[in-house]
A and B are shown apart, each in its own frame.
Chain A
Amino acid sequence: MESKINNLNWKIGGEAGYGIASAGEIFTYACAHGGLKTFTYLEYPSLIRGGHNTYQVLVRENNVQSHSARVDLLVALHKQAIDKNLNELVSGGGLIFDVDNSKMADFKCLRQDIHCFPIPLETLAKQAGGEKVMRNMVAVAASLALVQFPFAYLTELITRVFSKKGEKIVELNIAAAKAGYDYVEQNFAGKFGYKLQIKPESGKRLLINGNEAIAMGAIKAGLKFFAAYPMTPASSIMQYLANNERKYNLIVKQTEDEIAAMNMIVGAGFAGVRTMTATSGGGFALMTEALGLSAMVESPTVIALVQRPGPATGLPTWTEQGDLRFALHAAQGDFPRVVLAPGDPEECFYMTFQAFNIADKYQLPVIILSDKYLAEARQTLPYFETSDLKIERGGWANVSGLGANERFDRYVDTPTGVSPRVMPGTPGGVFIANSDEHELDGLDNEEAENRKMMMDKKMRKLQFIKNDMPEPVKLYGPKEADVTIVGWGSTKGPILEAMKMIESEPMKAKPGTETRSGSGTRVNFLQIKLLSPFPVKEVDAILRQAKKRVLVENNFSGQLGGLIREKTGIDITEKLLKYDGRPIHPEEVVDKIQSI
């Protein structure tokens, strides 16, 4: 049996507009402040009110890197949560449901292997002087009471989360929480096997998701001009930056469309500031022409492409890794670009910082590929260590000796392909950033020789990028393994969790299946973090000696698999591909490994 102490996957489900997110947040922070590690994962449809929204929090004593498909304690604020999520409960798990909800009042659970905790959530909220919406706080407190988590942490967090809404709201929420907590202590004391024990710790912890980490990394990197058009799941990057624009002296411009956003940042890069946009696939489609412009005029730009399932509007609030090929090939013509794929919020932070250095040093567009899962899943991490982070702005020309209005050879050919820049406005540096093919000072030039020189110069930059990307791939687990998993981006967490599950025997069983043993399979994982320019040597070296290879991707066609075959000739035939809008569950990776 897996330990029931400090190992709980909690999930709450209800309609949008009923405080699912704030319930989840408070539950998460309560656990985190109690010294435990959390991983949160949200699911919600594309609407404002109604629908079925869930928030799940996996709580452990040690680092937790992904969600889990197996739920230990489910809170149903509406019937759909039972209909859709009851089958996720493990044997011995618990179900809290609101008996005040007419559709659940007579609910009789057919599963004998779980504990049912019918609670009059609405009545308790109202008796405490609150409104129906405060059921969420009753439910959070009831959940924490079931696992014997001290109430004090809750008071502190409710105060923090609701203080903006006024003292009265804080008081009412605390009262509602107290009612829920007391109800469980009086009616269900000792009825649930799970326990969360606080672990007071001194270190500072961060509860952060991918989008926040990208935004924070950008601020640390000296982002000065951000332009974007709202698009789920990228919008929270803009919102985070907008909230901080005055504190950090940067301009956040919401634009009329993504075409404007991308053209703006190319202009801002030309003007000399660090600049960025964030979007999802549909917006990126509109940005493609200006993506090429960034490379053509050698204006540094950073683009956070937070994927969601396409094509077209697709599944706006769900996840997929379907835009790898798109990011690699978007826009007409051959031009250099860098594509980075962080796998967790920590990498989102550091790689975004790095993206700005690379963009500046090589004067080209750098795309950071994320996705909805990574963007919104919140992980417990230590504070980011920033003392080693160094801003590198690349080569700038000294034009002080030149006549103020002389034309400057901005695009001079160099061994690295990178030509020293000059800030517009500087005397002696006059040039044009020209989307037409151009000569050294930017004037139009259609001659064959010039064109070839300019193409060679720009493309040459790619040979040097690896100097700034010391870890283009990372191998986790033993060097020698029976199975080598290959992936990129947000599948990192579920894959690493799966590896832990395989290591710790006996295996956790999925509900309804038999317990299986990990049978000592040694597994390692090759994470590819740099996708363009592709780290051919590093990938080839590891994959060529791998005994069995498994490709894990959150898309239909195995886009990374195709890329690996294109670049190394290695064809990975074993694949775990998922394209239903949901992230890959660690349990699915375990099943895949065991099936081969």
Chain B
Amino acid sequence: MSTTKDFETKQFPTWCPGCGDFGIWTALKNAFVAQGLEPHQIVTVFGIGCSGNMASFLNTYGFHGLHGRSIPAATAIKLANNKLQVVTVGGDGDGYGIGLGHTIHAMRRNVDMTYVVHDNQIYGLTKGQASPTSEKGVTTKSTPFGLIETPLDPIAMAISVGATYVARGFAGNTKQLTELIVGAMKHKGFALVDVLQPCVTFNHHNTFHWFYDRVYELEKEGHNPKDKQAAWTRAMEWPTPLKIDESRVDKIPTGLFYVEDRATYEDELPQIAEKPLVEHPLDNIDITPLMETLS
């Protein structure tokens, strides 16, 4: 049996003390242990950002790709060897900004993988610029006069474009987050776990305390995640298009919004019905029939 220690490397995380990333790191390790997985059975694919830095702190097979491009790499890894457990870890800039196109297409494709997004509503590693999920009006290094755009809503987007497991976790609630990640990994299909992850250094608005005052758990309110309409209604609760306002009373749902059974991309490929691509022999492939069609 593996322990959380098995999923750690010799490098201790370089995140800022108190960073929400620690909670996600812990939840991932817990989720792996809870499923009885060993480090060599998992491939974790990372983008670039503070979230991507976890590549050197998490002991599994890893692929630390380019900024915004973790999803295509993860998709191919899964299609090349569908025996692997593939988990992708990214941030809001990575997955909802530069890599948004890939995120949407991966969702509609429904490749069997889990996507954990460190959503801190800010660009942390580049030291404090606005992100696609930053709230309207927020002042950052790139928006000194207040952000003009309204935030992207990852949950509503995921439900609408075809993700089959859509959840929101909170870095301040590792117990719930662990369960959501376990559920996502066990789910067959594309699973999004968007994680509210306070950036203690560059986001002085969406702090742990700000979230503690607002989050609630869907499960405790009897939400049925198979009900798409209900999921949609809950998704609409937050983020709002309203300007940033400390006194505003938001309610932020966390937990599993939506789940759906749908054939995965791999299910539709007879090429890998028997065994993964990596196990196909390459010697003596006969191309005579191909030549005959061109003769």
Contact = CB atoms under 8 A, between A and B. Distances in A.
A267 B40 contact: no
A423 interface: yes
A379 to B, nearest CB: 11
Given A271-B84, A404-B38, A443 B56 contact: yes
A135 to B, nearest CB: 27
Interface residues of A, number: 70
A265 interface: yes
A425 B81 contact: yes
Interface in A429-461: 429-436, 442-444
A270 to B, nearest CB: 6
Contact of A251 (B73, B74, B272): B272
B11 interface: yes
Contacts of B77: 267-268, 270-271, 424
A528 to B, nearest CB: 28
A222 interface: yes
B62 interface: yes
A378 to B, nearest CB: 9
Nearest to A433: B63
A247 B60 CA distance: 35
B61 A431 contact: yes
B53 A222 contact: no
Interface stretch (B139-147, B236-244, B283-291): B283-291
A249 interface: yes
Nearest to B43: A424
B173 interface: no
Interface in B255-277: 269-272, 277
A255 B72 contact: yes
A141 interface: no
Interface in B69-83: 69, 71-77, 79-81, 83
B160 interface: no
Interface stretch (A35-43, A272-280, A502-510): A272-280
A383 interface: yes
B59 A430 contact: yes
Given A224-B80, A251-B269, A431 B287 contact: no
Nearest to A441: B9
A326 interface: no
Given A427-B40, A444-B11, A212 B294 contact: yes
Given A205-B295, A444-B56, A384 B73 contact: no
Contacts of B168: none
Nearest to A271: B80
B287 A216 contact: yes
A271 B11 contact: no
B290 A219 contact: yes
Contacts of B294: 206-208, 212
Nearest to A244: B290
Contacts of B234: none
Contact of A222 (B39, B84, B271, B285): B285
A139 interface: no
A253 B69 contact: no
Interface in A253-268: 253, 255-257, 259-261, 263-268
Give the one of B2, B63, B278, B289 with max A CB within 10 A.
B63
Given A249-B277, A407-B59, A444-B56, A267 B41 contact: no
A3 to B, nearest CB: 27
Interface in B1-17: 2, 6, 9-11
Given A405-B39, A435-B65, A207 B72 contact: no
Given A405-B38, A424-B43, A224 B291 contact: no
Interface stretch (A193-201, A289-297, A411-419): A289-297
Counting from the closest, the 9 A-B pairs by CB-CB distance are A222-B282, A267-B73, A432-B62, A271-B80, A267-B76, A264-B76, A263-B72, A260-B72, A268-B76
Interface of A: 204-208, 212, 216, 219-222, 224-225, 227, 244-251, 253, 255-257, 259-261, 263-268, 270-275, 289-290, 293, 297, 383-384, 386, 391, 393, 404-405, 407, 423-436, 442-444
Given A224-B278, A259-B102, A270-B77, 19 more contacts: A206-B291, A207-B294, A219-B290, A224-B277, A246-B270, A251-B269, A253-B76, A259-B72, A263-B65, A268-B80, A383-B288, A405-B2, A405-B38, A423-B81, A425-B41, A425-B61, A429-B40, A430-B59, A442-B64
